[in-house]
Amino acid sequence: MATKYPIVLAHGVVLKDVGRFKAFGKIEDVLKKQGYAVFNADHDGLGSIENNAAQLKRFIEKILSQTGAERVNVIAHSKGGLDTLYMIDRLGMADQIASLTFISTPHRGSPVASLLYGLPKLLRTPIAFGFNLLYHILGDEKPQALTVCRQLCAAEEDAVILENAADCAHIYMQSFSSTLKRSRDDLVMGIPLMISKRKGHFSGDGMVSVASCNYRNYRGDCTGFSVSHSEIVDFMVRGEKRRAVHGFYLSVARELEELGL
């Protein structure tokens, strides 16, 4: 099995490939075992939308050169979807993208990002400095924690849109959400889920509400399981739930194949 065009996995904020750790866990391997050509993008973990869009453009152009393909299918998690949209709309990459699948992308912001950005300056500045230093050590070219947080605020909704929608009509776009039904279902994302609920976002994955994920052809939740923002990219997920997560990505790849993409 194989899609017509290679698949590029575009990760979101914080998670990135570092050594043997992969932002998408074993998902790349799962897809490759089924015959799909898959590539993990290497953009920054704490880079701004503009910065990461430029890095994604370089990465995709390299993949196109290596494979001889005319376009790629992008499967983007979280902020990776915003980075990809910006790349398409502002960096002239519409003709190189066959499809774009959004997974838990905060098109209308994240309440958790709003809360973090709203911290007192004396607190958020040293925290941001620490994260920037860490991600610089981890290989980021230009970590910008405060900028990323601001761009993901709910107040920044619709900041990244397709201005030239008519020029992108050929790109098949679809979006999915994930829902963490109970805080105890994921100890990592359970805390931000409780914060989100206090801000009135009762349905979401701990970082992004279902409503914020809804963009273009919205397909609903990735799985019927209680799945968090990090679990949907195969981070600290086990057993039957993990098999369901892997199965979701396989289903996306198979649908793209059936569509001739």
Task: Walk along the chain (261 residues) in steps of 10 and give the mean pLDDT of each run.
Answer: 91 89 94 96 94 96 96 97 92 94 92 83 91 94 93 63 68 94 81 72 81 90 93 93 96 96 94
* Half-sphere exposure (Cβ direction) of 191: Cα atoms closer than 13 Å: 3
pLDDT for res 183? 79
* Whether 55 contacts 138, CB under 8 Å: no
pLDDT for res 166? 59
Q: 77: closest CA among 51, 54, 43, 123?
A: 43
The domains located in the chain, with CATH, are 7-156+169-258 (3.40.50.1820)
Phi, psi of 83 (to 5 degrees): -60, -45
pLDDT for res 201? 61
* Half-sphere exposure (Cβ direction) of 13: Cα atoms closer than 13 Å: 28
Longest CA span, the chain: 54
Token pair recorded at residue 125 = 């500045």
3-state secondary structure the chain: CCCCCCEEEECCCCCCCECCECCCCCHHHHHHHCCCCEEECCCCCCCCHHHHHHHHHHHHHHHHHHHCCCCEEEEEECHHHHHHHHHHHHCCCHHHEEEEEEECCCCCCEHHHHHHHCCCHHHHHHHHHHHHHHHHHCCCCCCCHHHHHHHCEHHHCCCCCCCCHHHHCCCEEEEEECCCCCHHHCHHHHHHHHHHHHCCCCCECCCCEHHHHCCCEEEEECCCCCCCCCHHHCCCCCHHHHHHHHHHHHHHHHHHHHCCC
pLDDT for res 118? 82
pLDDT for res 185? 81
Phi, psi of 39 (to 5 degrees): -135, 130
pLDDT for res 157? 45
pLDDT for res 111? 80
pTM across the whole model = 0.93
Token pair recorded at residue 140 = 């980021």
Q: What does the angle CA 252 – CA 11 – CA 127 come to, to the nearest 5 degrees?
A: 150
Amino acid at the residue 14: V
**Residue whose structure tokens are 């089924």:** 34
| Pair type for strands 97-103 and 72-77 | parallel
